[in-house]
Structure 1
């Protein structure tokens, strides 16, 4: 599903990633842990094509993503990669349903995307919240809308950066169980950066970053 080969990233003269090699298989739920400043988010952003490495390759579904032209990379990212962040980043003037549909609309998809968005929101327990604005939803509900949005284009892989970091313990646990449900029922692949030890230990694999490298 995903291979990373010798990923190097520096900020100025400061090395942040020091030759990362990584492989993720279809349907895996992988967590990445480590101290602040270890390079977790930088690695996640490069794997998700939100940032470029100074050197190295990332291959997703057989595509060398950084070998693509910028326009083609943007289209690939929209179709094959989903993102969930600590803060949901929902558009405040749009309903839950409209927020979920947005990546599909950007990809030029028609009415079928609305039906899929409805199905995803119902699957995530938000059947009665389709027409609600983000301000009318709880924090946990907003994050579930963000998860549905990440899934709308049936991506190859979903990257999540501290997805439960802004939630209370109950909503955090609900979100974690949701990830496993999606992995089990849809075969969805997840790579999750987290400080939550419980989630990290439940994963198929837990990777620890130390000083810009993966601990063996």
Structure 2
């Protein structure tokens, strides 16, 4: 089976400062990979490039067989919406929308049938234990419930890969543990692939593989 994600000599500078100095990384389907490293090592920059939110100065990135940086910005935005999911530390839910509406948004943006999107959103929220929270606003949910809603939103378009940036960084230890277990449940049930940037040593140790970024390079 071909790799799901593969980079070749990814480099990124900010002004005269080299942040990524030649990243070569391969991710297989169904893997959970954690990316760790000290602050300033280049973790977030790498995640932004892998998630196609930023373009490198040099190098290639292939996701699901697509050489993504050959796409125009418009094509890349469409690819990102359809093939990539994101979970952020502060969940980024829209406060004026219910849990169900927040989860549906990426599906609506991609042009899918409204009924189909709503049914999948309900199914995902139910799978994540939020069937009683469909019509609740984020302010009416706990931090753990908000983050699980964000996970459902990341999955709505059946992405090839989900990127999580410090997903448990804003949660207490109990909710963090539940979120960590959720990633593995989704991998087992849906075959979902996750790349997780984290400072949480427990989550990093649970991953199939840990990638250490040190001074702009992969050191392990």
TM-score by shorter chain over 0.5: yes
Equivalent residues in 2 for 1:99-118 (5 A)? 99-110=102-113, 111-118=115-122
1:9 aligns with 12
Q: Distance in 1 between matches of 2:216 and 2:75?
A: 29
Equivalent residues in 2 for 1:1-216 (5 A)? 1-110=4-113, 111-216=115-220
Q: Deviations over 1:8-39 (max 9, x none)?
A: 00110011000000000000000001101100
Structure 1 gap segments, 5+ residues each: none
Q: Distance in 1 between matches of 2:5 and 2:145?
A: 30
Q: Distance in 2 between matches of 1:132 and 1:63?
A: 38
Aligned length: 216
TM-score (structure 2 length as normaliser): 0.97
Structure 2 gap segments, 5+ residues each: none
Q: Deviations over 1:160-184 (max 9, x none)?
A: 0000000000000000000000011
Aligned partner of residue 77 in structure 1, secondary structure: helix
* Aligned residues: CA RMSD: 0.5
Q: Distance in 1 between matches of 2:40 and 2:184?
A: 27
Q: Distance in 2 between matches of 1:83 and 1:57?
A: 21
Q: Distance in 2 between matches of 1:90 and 1:106?
A: 15
TM-score (structure 1 length as normaliser): 0.99
Q: Distance in 2 between matches of 1:184 and 1:31?
A: 17
Aligned partner of residue 166 in structure 1, secondary structure: coil
